[in-house]
Chains A and B, each alone.
Chain A
């Protein structure tokens, strides 16, 4: 076995367009690249001179799968810049709609995009042929997430009811109360799905990741808390640029996130879970235990289980918030027009998403910076791929290709989020 090249030009079951290139010489893995060829859309540039209050709606168009993450990151940053703070009722409603996004996005990924890998099937529609019950359960849970987003936000993709300062209108308490029985039923289904998935055969892997996520002493963080790491980092969002940077390298074609020391790091469910396990509900901890997971999961293939535990958490949390729901009155705090600078960081389903803006006296944007989770994970994905290839050289090319794809899908990479990614020239042997 001499030179082997594994190349997947169009990676399936990821959101956006990505590709994989691996070059093996004998037993040497010479090159591993997770390539991204999403055409750049220049969000930070097109935001220039737009009103800061437009940033949530405009940046939601970065990603149709996690629009709330962009809306909320932008709201937090612009609210900081304008010196305003929302009421606890508005914050609770934001957390509830964000739960909807976690539910739909994590379930979409776990059940429809990732699970087929463990069953050797091309898609969830193929799982439905042999196990329709499992797929129907997952679709019901996913639909609950979308319903939550529709009831609070007006629609599931690019919700319209959210704004800087709060909401355009407060959902009717009856409409919120009506969600509770299905939220509770779906929380049980999420547990069942997690335990179903726990029967999968997981490839062996154990890696000492640097887990980076929001951290919060009292609650599992979604849109609150500091940025923290498994190695003791604890900083407010505005200090993100001093601790992390993005690099534009020709070889990888993407802005890649690294720590100030140049280390790759992991954001997303595994990081949130490891850094905040204690803040999960007892029910979720029980599901984790029954699925065979400890408080830290270092096998990236088991991220599918952690993602579903987070779905269960989001369903329970949304039900809790629905039970104590008080319509914010007024639905939005007053929004002044003034200059300022602000930073915001929230937990998108795929991991922390950081925004910063500078506004002029008219409230118009003079500087915008957005760091989506997938660009932060990209260096770590390449490290994981290197390990995967090195550990599985005996596999046939087809099997190794699939395993590499599965490794990438561990991250639920959202390539549309890649405001910065572009195409790479393929280097063939």
Chain B
């Protein structure tokens, strides 16, 4: 039997989500045995021509060249999965979408004329059809392994789209918003991180992006009740998933 061909592609990102694959220390050699790693520059010099059975795409589209490259990758891939907040919603670099990219460029570079970049940082799904979007900044190792296993077995992955609050309740974590008055995006954020921030006494900062059917206005009102003012609420929504429509909406809260 021929092994399924897997490719890992990088767009604008920090590399942390593809690193999560290499962080599967206990599983890595088994994964490498059961698939053909056809393109994974962070790990290997070998690259194999497409088509690919599974493409994992990290990062967002921020250049004209990358906008073309994702089309080629889609054409070569049976299943295309985005990994992480950059690929799924544009990432932290999508804060440029709310600003003037020219001003951004001259803030960082002595010679802005050398820089070629798009005005926006956009999700992969804004450019091509995506078969599955794995959330997180970074993604969860457990969800990545479940997704790969399910995809190879041809079944639907078990990746719940419930809110972070559900994860807190399941773990028995005391609500940081109720008990400590912490600002928390848990009620509108998709679960999956493993209940990390609240279990450390910190409000959720939304790195898994919006859950299904959010009620942004109700949360914004609650944040205000806790004493947060507009700039604080705006910062809270506009971070690692700023360009996800629900969070953009939260960022425009009056």
Q: Which residues of A contact B (CB under 8 A)?
A: 10-17, 38-46, 48, 50-51, 54, 57-58, 61-65, 67, 104, 108, 112-113, 116, 122-126, 128, 132, 135-136, 139-140, 142-143, 146, 154-158, 160-161, 168-169, 247-248, 250, 253, 255, 405, 414, 416, 419-420, 422-423
Contact = CB atoms under 8 A, between A and B. Distances in A.
B108 A419 contact: yes
B39 to A, nearest CB: 9
Contacts of A168: 197, 200-202
A416 B41 contact: no
B146 to A, nearest CB: 17
A65 B17 CA distance: 10
A161 B201 CA distance: 9
Among A146, A155, A157, A158, max chain B CB count under 10 A is at A157
Nearest to B205: A57
A46 B46 contact: no
Interface residues of B, number: 64
Contacts of A41: 12, 62, 92-93, 121
B93 A46 contact: yes
Contact of B91 (A45, A61, A143): A61
Given A160-B202, A253-B114, 9 more contacts: A108-B22, A123-B37, A126-B44, A128-B32, A136-B29, A140-B25, A157-B19, A248-B109, A250-B114
A39 B95 CA distance: 15
B165 to A, nearest CB: 17
**5 nearest A-B residue pairs (beta carbon):** A64-B16, A123-B44, A45-B104, A45-B107, A157-B138
A125 B235 contact: no
Contact of B200 (A51, A135, A156, A161): A161
B25 A169 contact: no
Nearest to B115: A422
Contacts of A67: 14, 16
Given A13-B43, A17-B10, A160-B202, A143 B116 contact: no
Contacts of B37: 123, 125
Interface in B21-73: 22-23, 25-26, 28-29, 32, 37, 41-47, 62-63, 65-66
B44 A12 contact: yes
